[in-house]
Amino acid sequence: MKYEPITVSQLNNYIKERFENDEFLQNVLVKGEISNFKHHYTGHMYFTIKDENSLIKCIMFKSYTANLNFVPKDGMKVIVFGTVSVFERDGAYQIYCKAMQDDGLGNLYTLYEKLKKNLEAEGLFAQEKKKKIPVMPKVIGVLTSQTGSVIRDIINVSTRRNPNVYIRLYPIPVQGENAKEKIVQAIKIMNEKQLADVLILARGGGSLEDLWPFNEEIVARAIYASKIPVISAVGHETDFTIADFVSDLRAPTPSAAAELAVPDINAVKNTIQNYTLRNKNALKKKVEIMRMKYEKCIIRKPFSDPLYKTENYKVLINKYNDKLKNIVINKYKDTRNVFNEKIQRLDALSPLKTLNRGFSIVSKNNQIIKTKTSLKKDDIVDLRFIDGNLNARII
């Protein structure tokens, strides 16, 4: 017997028809825990329900979501009613939900709410305990995975806003069983060695399980104990973790965290220039007011006064007027010179200037090497050039 090949579409269509001809799959009642929940802007809901051993994708169209009397979220235990069918494009089967009811909170969500309540009562979320973010930090410590878009986004935003700020990455696992210990260790080391002026704790979005290391009590207490201010940027804008509540500042995304940590140097320069101009104009206005008062006094001078006294007062006022003008001019010059000097010093201290002159920066284990005695044979070092990094072995 000879078989003729069929297309993928034909096969998926055949499987879909088999599903639709099964009466049991047309009306199923399934209970499980919600994970990876997404409420699309169209009004449709996409999520997964799971138990201890399995999971299945679900979709609930807008026409049915309007009948819900609660807001679904990750970690919730629910009972869904619907039809199991095949999505032909992806060749995947899923539940098309027509109704859903709350079946109680999932275990992780229950733990989350309990810990949140306890730590809040203990005062770890108190606003008055929050540390201020430095206005002009020199070093930004980033605790996140060394791969992925998070660190790239932070570097891009920080460099654009102020290229003189140094980004110090401390790689950590952002999910998994041992992630919480690594996060705590990273926070402690950054504090003990004073490696940064502000810390950004970041990772991309994910399910409640993926974000769970940032809901651990030891991580919350490490953030609270940190002497260095901590900015939390965990998950998407709608995700809230215990780390967000205990941190000194929460950012909706890693890129937003970089904007909060690194001031825009051009905006700072413009602000200084505006204040200088306003100060100059205010002094000019003051001089003008004093001149008008002087002229007014001359006009109102009684005609019975001796003329020579009037002339003497006029000379004296002109003298003070000239003196005040000189003070204003000198003050403006001094302020401008100090500002230019600080800009030049700031520019001269930039590590990028050093790299532009043909030098490189040698580091080992994220520590800058200043003397040859700090190295021994077969040590692996990192060489930073203006256009990138290389590794080298000491021979």
70 is a domain residue: yes
Residue 81: per-residue pLDDT: 94
The pLDDT confidence band at residue 305, using thresholds 50, 70 and 90, is low
Identify whether the C-beta of residue 247 lies closer than 8 Å to the C-beta of residue 232. yes
The widest CA-to-CA distance across the chain, in whole angstroms, is 135
265-299 and 307-348 helices, crossing angle to 10°: 180
Q: 189: Cβ–Cβ under 8 A, 6 or more apart, which residues?
A: 170, 195
Which of 239, 261, 283 corresponds to the end of one domain?
Answer: 261
Residue 92: per-residue pLDDT: 92
User: Is the domain of 378 the same as that of 314?
Assistant: no
Q: Which domain holds residue 361?
A: 352-393
* pTM of the full structure: 0.53
User: Is the domain of 272 the same as that of 362?
Assistant: no
User: Is the domain of 228 the same as that of 319?
Assistant: no
d(CA 226, CA 260): 18
Can you read off the two tokens belonging to residue 299? 């006009």
pLDDT over threshold 60, residue 304: no
Which residues sit opposite 99 in a β-bridge? 81
Q: 391: Cβ–Cβ under 8 A, 6 or more apart, which residues?
A: 380, 381, 382, 383
% of the chain at pLDDT higher than 90? 45
User: Is the domain of 30 the same as that of 114?
Assistant: no
Mean pLDDT across the chain: 87
Nearest C-alpha neighbor of 200 from the set 165, 160, 229: 229
> How many C-alpha atoms does 18 have within 13 Å on its Cβ side?
8
Residue type (1 letter), 240: F
- Order of strands, edge to edge, in the sheet holding 249-250? 166-171, 139-144, 198-203, 230-234, 249-250
User: Is the domain of 241 the same as that of 335?
Assistant: no
User: Is the domain of 99 the same as that of 114?
Assistant: no
280 is a domain residue: yes
User: Is the domain of 169 the same as that of 205?
Assistant: yes
86 is a domain residue: yes
Which of 209, 243, 261 corresponds to the end of one domain?
Answer: 261
d(CA 335, CA 343): 12
Residue type (1 letter), 258: A
Identify whether the C-beta of residue 254 lies closer than 8 Å to the C-beta of residue 200. yes
Per residue in 343-391, pLDDT (tens digit) is 777 776 666 667 677 778 888 888 888 888 888 888 888 988 878 888 8
User: Is the domain of 32 the same as that of 72?
Assistant: yes
User: Is the domain of 138 the same as that of 182?
Assistant: yes
The pLDDT confidence band at residue 220, using thresholds 50, 70 and 90, is very high
Residue 100: per-residue pLDDT: 94
Write down the residue that tokens 């974000």 correspond to: 211
Per residue in 53-72, pLDDT (tens digit) is 889 999 999 999 988 988 89
pLDDT over threshold 70, residue 280: yes
Question: Average pLDDT, stretch 85-89?
Answer: 91
User: Is the domain of 119 the same as that of 222?
Assistant: yes
Per residue in 95-134, pLDDT (tens digit) is 999 999 988 666 777 888 899 999 999 999 999 999 999 9
Identify whether the C-beta of residue 216 lies closer than 8 Å to the C-beta of residue 239. no
71 burial level (CB within 10 Å; 0-12, 13-18, 19+): exposed
Which residues sit opposite 140 in a β-bridge? 167, 198
